[in-house]
Amino acid sequence: MLGLMQEWPLLAHTIIDHAARMHGGREVVSRSVEGPIHRITYDEIRSRSLKLSQRLARDGVVLGDRVATMAWNTWRHLETWYGILGIGAVYHTLNPRLFPEQIAWIMNDAEDRMLFVDLTFVKLAEALAPKVPTLERVVILTDDAHMPETSLAGAVSYEAYIGEVDGDFAWARFDENTAAGMCYTSGTTGDPKGVVYSHRSNTLHALTAIQPDMLDISSKDRFMPVVPLFHANGWSTAFSVPMVGATMVMPGAGMDGKSIYEMLTQERVTITAAVPTVWLMLLQHMEEHGGSLPDLDHVIIGGSACPPAIIRKFQENYDVRVMHAWGMTEMSPLGTICSIKPEYADLEGEEKVALQSKQGHAPYTVEMKISDDDGNELSWDGKTFGRLKVRGPAISSAYYKNRGAEQFDEDGWFDTGDVAHINEYGYMQITDRAKDVIKSGGEWISSIEIENIAVGHPDVAEAAVIGVDHPKWSERPLLIIVLKAGRSATKEDIRDFLDGKIAKWWMPDDIVFADEIPHTATGKIKKTTLRDAYGDYTLPTI
Ligand code: ADP
């Protein structure tokens, strides 16, 4: 017997319909790339997205075509997503922080037909265009008054482009499993791999993301995604924020501590989300210049492990609740968030910070398990590390062109490449990327845990731990430290600081001071580069 409910395909652009109908007057406030603060409503965003759909259709863009964007978070970027989705084309976000050769490789792999690009990246687009034969047209996300001189053939301003149609257009209707978006993983090893979201996965994922134990967002909120839309599906914010009708505050190109602080305070932001490095910049700015965050209720921190020092500062100095999150491009991207379940309601002080340093528990639609190298499932005792595997309706079933097939097993589990333990209440903690874990004498040492503690030292700006060859133990940890400007901690100071906070056998065999630590295009520590740089380092313990 079948249920007698309506066939109502989960199409992602119905989210902006809902926002326009139920919360039509709510604003999307952006720091424009041109400079001034710009305000628009969901109702207007929907009308302009419809115009973009109509205009793209006139250019012959059809269901399944890939349309790339390389842009900061602004209302125009949001409109491009919905305009592309509305005719069944596929938004393909490009990360401008990648090397140009890598971007060209990705565009060719996806066979992008069009590119929507911010003023900031026009020069980059000029360099890319000759290398991407499928690219037919570049639209610059500005108006005619701000159009730059450009060698891009046929380039047009976005406002002129959508101004050529009247908006008398209806969204297309199609199967909910149709591709909606593409985002490539940064590919720190090997070529980047394309993740392809569907309308169904984006919609289900947004429904999951808005829950109180996840983003905890409602129409009363003013949400600022600092995480760029080009990073891991924008952490779903393009869908989840309009879905509940919250005000959206978009920081544009202003990603430094001062600009973020201005937007947070002037626009009375109640929820915000970004990687730890952004929050380090904000907190440093506030330490130097003072300030408070009276409207900010909570901050979602993920993308790499959130050091406890950041959690403490937000909560103790500024009364802002931290929600540590873990996810992956392949997971749409949210996997777990560390909200506090009733079992832990009484925790306070350092015990609470320790819990919040875990990446958290999974919502309905994300199943997880840990297993050993032979695939045997491990117990949830909060100690036993294993390979973290996940499955669910908004998790990749394959990469584009079937790359990386070995990460997917026949039972539908995706191997995240992360190593984690899970406790009795389902709180997961990442201890490492599988390739970064340090194998010492047959036991595993968590590089993340040592890094987290080291950055708690008042003189330390950043810390990274890698495994270095050791004849007896196979690998031992080497700690690389970047000191804050003008500070002068010594190896001994750092060692004393770590002493008692980690197991004795986890103590790094040596500590080196560096001017900087290399990062990937998504802000993670680039361990491969560090391993290349310190590969032949001779530990004093040898
Ligand atoms: P990319 O691979 O393109 O840099 P992703 O966002 O897909 O971008 O990276 C996902 C990986 O980032 C995860 O597999 C995990 O290793 C790491 N990560 C994300 N969030 C956290 C977190 N809160 N703590 C530790 N690692 C994290």
Confidence (pLDDT) at 189: 59
Give 315-365 pLDDT, tens digit per residue: 999 999 999 999 999 999 999 999 999 999 999 999 999 999 999 999 999
Asked if residue 429 has its Cβ within 6 Å of ligand 1, the reply is: no
- The average pLDDT across 282-293 equals 96
- The average pLDDT across 268-291 equals 95
- The average pLDDT across 237-252 equals 98
Mention every residue, 6+ apart, whose C-beta is less than 8 A from residue 1. Answer: none
CA-nearest residue, atom 19 of ligand 1: 303
Asked if residue 335 has its Cβ within 6 Å of ligand 1, the reply is: no
* Residue whose CB lies within 8 A of the most ligand 1 atoms, among 95, 328, 370, for a mutation test: 328
Fold held by 438-533: GMP Synthetase; Chain A, domain 3 (3.30.300)
Q: If we measure between CA atoms, which residue out of 195, 209, 189 comes closest to residue 93?
A: 195
Catalytic residues: 185, 330, 439, 444
What's the predicted TM-score (pTM) here? 0.92
Give 144-178 pLDDT, tens digit per residue: 999 999 999 999 999 999 999 999 999 999 999 99
Q: 326 CA distance to ligand 1 centroid (A)?
A: 7
Q: Where are the CATH 2.30.38.10 domain residues in the chain?
A: 365-433
pLDDT band at 191 (very low <50, low <70, confident <90, very high): confident
Domain 365-433 in CATH 3.40.710.10: no
What's the mean pLDDT when you consider all of the chain?
A: 95
Integer Cα distance of 243 and 228 in angstroms: 18
Asked if residue 433 has its Cβ within 6 Å of ligand 1, the reply is: yes
* Residue whose CB lies within 8 A of the most ligand 1 atoms, among 197, 214, 304, 331, for a mutation test: 304
Asked if residue 193 has its Cβ within 6 Å of ligand 1, the reply is: no
Identify the CATH class of 14-199.
Answer: alpha beta
Q: What are the contacts of 337-342 at 24+ separation with CB within 8 A?
A: 337/213, 337/214, 337/215, 337/300, 337/361, 337/363, 338/427, 339/212, 339/213, 339/214, 339/216, 341/213, 341/425
Asked if residue 329 has its Cβ within 6 Å of ligand 1, the reply is: yes
Q: For the CA atoms of the chain, what is the radius of gyration?
A: 23
Question: Percent of the chain, pLDDT > 90?
Answer: 89
Residue in the structure block whose two tokens are 């565009």: 107
Count Cα neighbours of 147 within 13 Å in the Cβ-side half-sphere: 18
CA-nearest residue, atom 12 of ligand 1: 303
**CA dihedral sign, ordered 298, 299, 302, 307:** negative
Q: 36 CA distance to ligand 1 centroid (A)?
A: 33
Integer Cα distance of 417 and 434 in angstroms: 5
Q: 50 CA distance to ligand 1 centroid (A)?
A: 34
- The average pLDDT across 30-52 equals 98
Q: 329 CA distance to ligand 1 centroid (A)?
A: 8
Q: Where are the CATH 3.30.300.30 domain residues in the chain?
A: 438-533
Q: Where are the CATH 3.40.50.12780 domain residues in the chain?
A: 14-199
**CA dihedral sign, ordered 232, 361, 449, 302:** positive
Burial class (CB in 10 A: 0-12, 13-18, 19+), 74: buried
Asked if residue 388 has its Cβ within 6 Å of ligand 1, the reply is: no
